[in-house]
């Protein structure tokens, strides 16, 4: 192949990209990438609900490939996770031998970012240093899997007409956001995937528990979720609870109510881990827990909405 032909190669994929905006969004995605992304939420701060200060880690020192001979992070595992059914036993242990990087019984210890390293019997955060070893308040050593339903509708005026932003001319999309009880930040109403549970079940369960506090419209919600969502992200989450040995990963799907006749009509009511819930206008000013705003942006690109 000549270099000219080689340069034309991307054009081959153009029809595919134009046909499916998500493909291009995913290809251009600026979401968390190991070796590029530097922790923002889980670095240089006090570990949540504790008095444990993380060991300072500069931008350059995040990556494991960067030598950091003085690195001496404290170890912390929150006392309340001891003995919980959803949590692993402590390590090292004579009786607990986790099968890293694979399905370990019902527990998924695989990362979406490929095989992670295991050092001195403990899994290593695939992004890099966080200034803390142990599990903090996360239940699992290694990846802790969550699922996030991004439920959206178009913003409408009193007459039911879709509202566009006057500057961009693009329609404004709204999402269901909850206010988390633990850090008071607004977030996607997601939750942890139980061992052996299918992500689609987690998505519906968490949405119903957190944003609807269960509902008499259960059948409609069931149908809405069954119609299927569009996956917009799968991978690491820049969560404030991450440590060098335990971290959050998520699978995020968009469930969109195009004509606002289904979930878009529902009265929202906060429940479970949520202290508040609301339909929120989505735009570039949106501030959400962890890197949820980046994940939501993938939906905006996909739906060609205002940002």
List interacting residues with ligand BGC (CB under 6 A): 146, 148, 187-188, 190-191, 237, 239, 248, 250, 290
CA distance 19 to 13: 10
The pair of structure tokens assigned to 292 is 């949820």
DSSP the chain: --HHHHHHHHHHTHHHHHH-HHHHHHHH--S--TTT---SSSSSSBPTTS-PBPPP--TTTSSTTS--TT--PPEEE-GGGTT-TTSPPPSS-SS----TTSEETTEE---TTSPPPEETTEE--SS---S-EEEET-SSSEEEEEEEEEEEEE-B-TTSPBPBPTTT-PBPEEEEEEEETTT--EE---EEPPTT--HHHHHHHHHIIIIISS-TTHHHHHHHHHT--EEEEEEEE--TT--SSEEEEEEEEEEEETTSSSGGGPPP---TTEEEEEEEE-STT---STTHHHHHHHHHHHHT---
Instruction: Work out how close the CB of 127 gets to ligand BGC at its nearest, in angstroms, rounded to a whole number.
Output: 14
Instruction: Work out how close the CB of 86 gets to ligand BGC at its nearest, in angstroms, rounded to a whole number.
Output: 12
Inter-CA distances, 77 with 41, 96, 241, 254, Å: 18, 17, 11, 34
The residue among 61 and 130 lying less far from ligand BGC, judged by its C-beta, is: 130
Instruction: Work out how close the CB of 78 gets to ligand BGC at its nearest, in angstroms, rounded to a whole number.
Output: 14
The residue among 266 and 288 lying less far from ligand BGC, judged by its C-beta, is: 288
- Which residues, 6 or more positions from 87, have their beta carbon under 8 angstroms from its beta carbon? 81, 135, 139, 140
Instruction: Work out how close the CB of 118 gets to ligand BGC at its nearest, in angstroms, rounded to a whole number.
Output: 22
The residue among 187 and 266 lying less far from ligand BGC, judged by its C-beta, is: 187
Instruction: Work out how close the CB of 291 gets to ligand BGC at its nearest, in angstroms, rounded to a whole number.
Output: 8
The residue among 57 and 188 lying less far from ligand BGC, judged by its C-beta, is: 188
The residue among 206 and 257 lying less far from ligand BGC, judged by its C-beta, is: 206
Which residue has the CB atom at the shortest distance from ligand BGC?
Answer: 190
Instruction: Work out how close the CB of 191 gets to ligand BGC at its nearest, in angstroms, rounded to a whole number.
Output: 4
The residue among 210 and 257 lying less far from ligand BGC, judged by its C-beta, is: 210
Instruction: Work out how close the CB of 292 gets to ligand BGC at its nearest, in angstroms, rounded to a whole number.
Output: 6
The residue among 202 and 262 lying less far from ligand BGC, judged by its C-beta, is: 202
CA distance 299 to 301: 5
Instruction: Work out how close the CB of 99 gets to ligand BGC at its nearest, in angstroms, rounded to a whole number.
Output: 23
The residue among 55 and 240 lying less far from ligand BGC, judged by its C-beta, is: 240
The pair of structure tokens assigned to 117 is 């390293």
């Amino acid at each position: 192949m000549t270099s000219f032909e080689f340069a034309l190669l991307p054009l081959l994929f153009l029809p595919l990209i134009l046909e499916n905006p998500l493909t291009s969004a995913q290809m251009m995605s600026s979401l968390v990438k190991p070796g590029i992304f530097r922790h923002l939420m889980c670095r240089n701060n006090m570990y949540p609900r504790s008095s444990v200060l993380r060991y300072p880690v500069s931008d350059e020192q995040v990556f494991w490939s960067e030598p950091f001979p003085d690195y001496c992070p404290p170890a912390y595992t929150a006392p309340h996770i001891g003995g919980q059914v959803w949590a692993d036993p402590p390590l090292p242990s004579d009786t607990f031998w986790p099968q890293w990087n694979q399905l370990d019984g019902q527990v998924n210890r695989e990362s979406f970012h490929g095989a992670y390293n295991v050092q001195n019997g403990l899994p290593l955060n695939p992004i890099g240093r966080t200034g803390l070893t142990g599990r903090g308040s996360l239940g699992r050593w290694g990846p802790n899997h969550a699922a996030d339903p991004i439920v959206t509708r178009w913003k409408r005026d009193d007459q039911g007409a879709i509202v566009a932003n006057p500057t961009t001319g693009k329609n404004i999309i709204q999402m269901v956001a909850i206010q988390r009880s633990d850090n008071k930040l607004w977030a996607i109403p997601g939750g942890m995937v139980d061992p052996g549970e299918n992500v689609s079940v987690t998505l519906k369960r968490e949405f119903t528990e957190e944003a609807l506090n269960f509902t008499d419209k259960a059948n409609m919600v069931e149908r809405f979720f069954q119609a299927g969502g569009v996956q917009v992200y799968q991978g690491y989450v820049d969560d404030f609870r991450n440590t060098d040995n335990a971290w959050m990963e998520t699978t995020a799907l968009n469930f969109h109510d195009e004509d606002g006749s289904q979930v878009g009509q529902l009265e929202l009511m906060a429940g479970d881990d949520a202290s508040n819930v609301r339909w929120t206008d989505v735009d570039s000013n949106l501030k959400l827990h962890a890197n949820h705003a980046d994940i939501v942006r993938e939906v905006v690109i996909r739906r060609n909405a205002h940002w």
